[in-house]
Amino acid sequence: MRISSRLPASLSPTAFSKLVEARRGSPGFLNLTVSNPTRCGFNYFEDSWRKALDSPGILAYAADPQGSRAAREAIAAHHGHGLPPEDILLTASTSEAYSWLFKLLCDPGDEVLVPSPSYPLFEHLAAMEGLRPIQVPAYFHERWHLDLDALESACTPRTRALVVVNPNNPTGQFLSKQEWRALSNLCAERGLSLLVDEVFADFVLEPQGDALATALLDESPPCPVFVLSGLSKVALLPQLKLGWILLHGSARVYLDSLVFIADQYLSVSASAQAAAPSILGSAKAMRDQVLLRARDNLRCLDDLLLAHSHLSRLPVEGGWSVLLRRPALGDDGDCALRLVEETSTLVHPGHFFDLPTDGFLVLSLLTPPDIFREGISRILPRLPVD
């Protein structure tokens, strides 16, 4: 049987994933990588949200490929910055948003520059559109930085778009305003579009003074800018499946073409669109719970690290993850595997997110505090000095 070369050559589980599945659910197993907020003990507004999802309007089908006006107005109000609802297009997820933008901007065989480190998603989404994803690593010097020279060197005549995540997952790096200017100017010079994933932009933890809170702060970007977000992170509702694309600056000229693509799918459910205004109205209360949890967990980690001078954690400007830095003694994957075997505690190895060197473990700040403290207490003594 032959399948498309756009798919990975092997879908077999790794030794690490096999071990995790074997241990998951066993007594004493702790997961410090949980990223599903619905499993983290947050207080959801169940009655009001169920009522919003039970709107009579969902029984009448009104196919609008751009998305319902009411939902787009609520999204515009959430983002602010004078964003008009006419410049918003709804999708079923940010992954679908990427798929549509790749269809819009690229032909098969074209190239897309994607961030590294990052969540392992862009390479697969680009490949499934017949594109070549080109990783361009960031570098760490007191904070994470874009390697602008490397970005420029990576551009070829087949490059069509550049993806950035602001703030990045898992590094938590916000773009600096200087980086933004250089990045948008590079795209303008090379005729590229800029795709800015801002799903974590509402979760600000330890920002630098020059951090770019959102690409919408640039009122007149020199290149087409598409900003992505969705309810999965904004309202902690990954199951509701509602994302959106904000067309900013000269990206507005692509609206009709993007609506044409959306019209071939009509994938956004009526219930998600009907519920969006009510849910976005309470999104701040959900965000506040996450910020309180994340800050408490960071304080806990800092306290426990005091007894282990060879270990540290990197600054977290925003998002839901923290990078634990250890002496780079051996492969991160082997280290994470050993921690599961010896402590029944799951952490992500840095290479899962394409961290440039060994010496990093990735932890979720969504983890319930008691589990986070217990898990950290287990693993820190198992990370050797030499």
Token pair 């980690």 in the structure block, residue: 301
CA contacts within 13 A on the Cβ side of 250: 11
Q: Which of 192, 143, 146 is nearest to 135 (CA)?
A: 146
In the chain, list all ranges with CATH 3.90.1150.10: 15-43+284-382
- Whether pLDDT at 305 is above 80: yes
Tell me, what's the pLDDT at 16?
Answer: 77
Share above pLDDT 70 across residues of the chain, in percent, rounded to a whole number:
99
Tell me, what's the pLDDT at 9?
Answer: 78
For residue 374, what is the enclosing H or E element?
Answer: helix 369-379
Tell me the pLDDT of the chain averaged across its residues.
Answer: 93
Tell me, what's the pLDDT at 302?
Answer: 98
Q: Is the pTM of this model over 0.75?
A: yes
Q: Would you place residue 335 in the very low, low, confident or very high pLDDT band (cuts 50, 70, 90)? A: very high
Q: Would you place residue 55 in the very low, low, confident or very high pLDDT band (cuts 50, 70, 90)? A: confident
Q: What is the dotted CATH code of the domain comprising 15-43+284-382?
A: 3.90.1150.10
Rounded to whole angstroms, the Cα distance separating 168 from 315 reads: 12
Q: Which of 121, 229, 138 is nearest to 175 (CA)?
A: 138
Q: Range with the lowest mean pLDDT among 51-60, 108-117, 358-367?
A: 51-60
In this structure, is the dihedral angle defined by the CA atoms of residues 163, 168, 171 and 176, taken in order, positive or negative?
A: positive
In the chain, list all ranges with CATH 3.40.640.10: 59-282
- Whether pLDDT at 48 is above 90: no
Rounded to whole angstroms, the Cα distance separating 20 from 85 reads: 44
Q: Range with the lowest mean pLDDT among 42-46, 62-66, 182-186?
A: 42-46
- Whether pLDDT at 13 is above 80: no
Higher pLDDT, 240 or 378: 378
Q: Would you place residue 313 in the very low, low, confident or very high pLDDT band (cuts 50, 70, 90)? A: very high
Q: What are the pLDDT digits (tens) for 72-103? A: 999 999 999 999 999 999 999 999 999 999 99
Tell me, what's the pLDDT at 364?
Answer: 98
Higher pLDDT, 21 or 181: 181
Please work out, in degrees rounded to the nearest 5, the angle formed at the alpha carbon of residue 156 by the alpha carbons of 193 and 140: 75
Looking at domain 59-282, its CATH architecture is 3-Layer(aba) Sandwich (3.40)
Rounded to whole angstroms, the Cα distance separating 24 from 20 reads: 6
Q: Which of 217, 226, 146 is nearest to 192 (CA)?
A: 226
SS3 331: coil
How are beta strands 159-165 and 143-145 bridged, if at all? unpaired
Share above pLDDT 90 across residues of the chain, in percent, rounded to a whole number:
82
- Whether pLDDT at 330 is above 90: no
**DSSP assignment, residue 211?**
B
- Tell me the mean pLDDT in the region 354-358: 90
Tell me, what's the pLDDT at 310?
Answer: 94
